[in-house]
């Protein structure tokens, strides 16, 4: 999937489009499965993503709504990226 194509190598720091990024943090972030965290949420959640987002897949909105125990409002914004 897109997130794994963006995954940095084994170095602690990598360059993405010429900018230095914390590659170690990025790898750990991409490896984290948030489902258990989402199941513990009991407060209202507003989840918004764009239809062109490659970091937070728009289809994940349904999973957020299904997993969160509290009330959830989701919005998918047309033609919006993550930035």
Give the length of the chain. Answer: 83
Q: Which helix (H) or strand (E) segment is 16 a member of? A: strand 13-16
Phi, psi at residue 45, to the nearest 5°? Answer: -125, 135
Residue 4: pLDDT band (50, 70, 90) is very low
The per-residue pLDDT for 64 is: 97
Instruction: Please give the Cα distance from 33 to 53 (Å, whole number).
Output: 18
Question: What is the distance between the terminal CA atoms of the chain, rounded to a whole angstrom?
Answer: 19
The per-residue pLDDT for 6 is: 53
Q: What is the pLDDT of residues 5-30, one digit of tens each?
A: 455 567 787 777 888 888 888 888 88
């Amino acid at each position: 999937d897109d997130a794994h194509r963006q995954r940095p190598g084994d170095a602690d720091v990598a360059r993405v489009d010429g900018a230095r990024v914390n590659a170690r943090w990025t790898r750990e972030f991409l490896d984290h499965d948030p489902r258990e965290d989402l199941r513990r949420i009991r407060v209202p959640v507003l989840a918004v993503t764009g239809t062109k987002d490659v970091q937070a897949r728009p289809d994940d909105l349904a999973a957020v709504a299904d997993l969160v125990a509290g009330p959830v409002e989701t919005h998918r914004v047309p033609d919006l990226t993550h930035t």
